[in-house]
Structure 1
Amino acid sequence: MPIDLSAIKAIDVHVHAEVSCHDPEDPVMAQFFDAASAYFKAPRERPKLPEIVEIYREQQIAFCLFTVDAESGLGAKRVSNYEIAEFAARHDDICIPFASIDPHKGKLGAREARDLVENHGVRGFKFHGIAQDISPNDRVAYPIYEVINAYRLPAIFHTGHSGMGTGMRGGGGLRLKYGQPMLVDDVAVDFPDMKIILAHPSWPWVDESLSMALHKTNVFIDLSGWSPRYFPSQLVHYANTQLRGKMLFGSDFPLIHPQKWLDAARQVGFRDEVLPAIMKDNAAALLGLT
């Protein structure tokens, strides 16, 4: 059943599936979950897929669901992209499946990407260079990007500071340099049919993301990972003006509850005519739901 836009109030483009319904929580990821929960002051228990969809149905919010494949960078077993795709297919009135493939998997990763799109209904991809220990513009990832570009699908790239690893010894071994938005600019040039979503306000490189979204027709920004109460002033300014069609609602659930994000967003100065676009309309157009 296709998503009925009239029946939902928002589209959350940034929702994490962090534990499998079939496998126990990975012990490597458990250390990062402990630290991230402390940093975000969020509950430690990670909801499984049925709990996530129940929360979003209750809130009348459609959502993009994905894991993060950092098997090479972290040595942690990922949640299966196929598990997420199969779950989303059973809840396709509200859940949009995205996949994550470690860029180090190169051509083999490209085979998986193509299979997920052609045979399992995946509608987009998620990359996290910091967790995956790789620059977004590393050529080893290009075979995967070629598949995404060929199908004109969106890809979310983590940018800015990482809650993952914050407070851990040595940052958990994660290198923040891979979160610099300008590293994605090469990807935007080389794959102009890929719809690139720069995730989060990108602090401390906020202006880089704003510049890229202004310059490149295929670059967008999701506002996840921060409460809107802490958004830099220039982010709100551009959302209200030149980038009003480029900003997307994202929560970063389960670390931030979607309703909590939406409540805060109504208080930070987004214009009345702009907020509906951020909440739903921009994402609906980008995802091909209109």
Structure 2
Amino acid sequence: MIIDAWGQHPTLRHAQDPIFDSLRRWTKAPLPTEALPVATTVAALDAGGIDHMLISAWYAPRNVMISNDEVAAFAAASGGRLIGVGSVDISRPMTAIAEIRRCITELGFKAIRVLPWLWEVPPTDRRFYPVYAACAELGVPFCTQIGHTGPLMPSEVGRPIYLDQVALDFPELTIVGGHIGYPWTDEAIAVATKHDNVFIDTSAYAVGRYPAALVAYLKSNGRTKVLFGSNYPMILPGKALDGLDALGLDDQTRALFLGGNAARVYKL
């Protein structure tokens, strides 16, 4: 089974948001003018041989790009192929806690994701701590972005070392850092190695662009700590896996990387 640990089925307002304009210089994709059908995302999974994708809501200050209810609708329309990940407005702690509980207990989501660069504060900011407590209480992972940002926003808040303090404060919380952590990949590996509850996913990077240190970690003591992700629709899942054979992973490591780790971490 192959599970894509980081994707999003975009709404039109997410796809058209000016914050993503800088990404188009890489993808060469035109500005969308119509909403993407769920069937198109499912077809992308089929083309890449992907069984499931975790898709997330996007909550930014004063801006809901993809709502939790929209994610739930996309997942319901996918025939079980898309799995919901919620998000919340961290500026309203009590509302955020209630929404996290709704996402998990009513909508059936498997995790919560909040992106520090959208809020321009690190994950050690006090506004994140109610989110961590709620996720720990409910037994679901907290997902976030580590590394530099494609959008033209400050990257410093994505330093993986911030997660060291979070993991110390919340040893009961499973934490998944997406986007490899580049250019601080060594930091990401160090934090994941130190803490049993911290993991890395490879979203936003095709296999051929994985840093050598991450590949070495994946093939050794990190075989249970690294999850495959694409960051669809920026990268098609199948394209993200092009060149996988060249990594030389043994069968067990390959199976864990492609789906076993995600199934365990997200309790799928």
Normalised TM-score (structure 1):
0.84
Q: Contact conserved, 1:57 with 1:94, CA < 8 A, in 2?
A: no
CA apart distance, 1:126: 1.1
1:39–1:163 contact (8 Å) kept in structure 2: no
1:54 aligned to which of 43, 47, 72: 43
3-state SS of 2:247 partner: coil
Q: Aligned letter for 2:40? A: E
Provide the C-alpha distance between the structure 1 equivalents of 2:216 and 2:30, rounded to a whole number of angstroms. 32
Deviation at 1:244, TM superposition (A): 0.3
Paired letter, 1:142: Y
Match of 1:64 in 2: 54
Q: Is the 8 Å Cα contact of residues 123 and 166 (structure 2) preserved in structure 1?
A: yes
Identify which of 4, 13, 17 aligns with 2:9: 17
**Partner residue, 2:162:** 183
Aligned to 1:229: 208
1:111-126 equivalences under 5 Å are: 111-126=98-113
In 1, the alpha carbon distance for the partners of 2:179 and 2:141 equals: 16
Structure 1 residue 128 displacement after superposition: 0.9
CA distance in 1, matches of 2:14, 2:159: 28
Report percent identity of matched pairs: 28
What are the superposed Cα offsets for residues 233-283 of structure 1, whole Å, 9 maximum, x if unpaired? 111001000010111000000011100111222223434442221001111
Question: For residue 171 of structure 1, what is the aligned residue in structure 2?
Answer: none
Deviates more, 1:185-194 or 1:149-158: 185-194
Aligned to 2:265: 286
**Which of 202, 226, 234 lines up with 1:255 in the alignment?**
234
5 Å-filtered alignment, 1:264-283, equals 264-283=243-262
- Give the CA RMSD over aligned residues: 2.0
Does residue 30 of structure 1 match 2:17? yes
- Unaligned residue ranges in structure 2 (runs of 5+): none
1:196-211 aligned within 5 A: 196-211=175-190
Secondary structure of the structure 1 residue equivalent to 2:223 = coil
Partner SS state of residue 63, structure 1 = strand
Tell me how far 1:25 sits from its aligned partner.
2.1
Distance 2:83 2:227 in 1: 15
Give the number of aligned pairs.
Answer: 265
* Rounded Cα–Cα distance in structure 2 between residues aligned with 1:41 and 1:54: 21
Unaligned runs of 5+ in 1: 1-8, 166-173
Instruction: Tell me which residue corresponds to 1:143.
Output: 130
The 5-angstrom pairing of residues 63-82 of structure 1 reads 63-70=53-60, 72=61, 75-82=62-69
Are 1:109 and 2:101 an aligned pair? no
Are the structure 2 counterparts of residues 273 and 43 from structure 1 closer, same or farther at C-alpha, using a change threshold of 3 Å? Answer: farther
Q: Secondary structure at the match of 1:156?
A: strand
**Residue 90 of structure 1, CA deviation:** 4.3
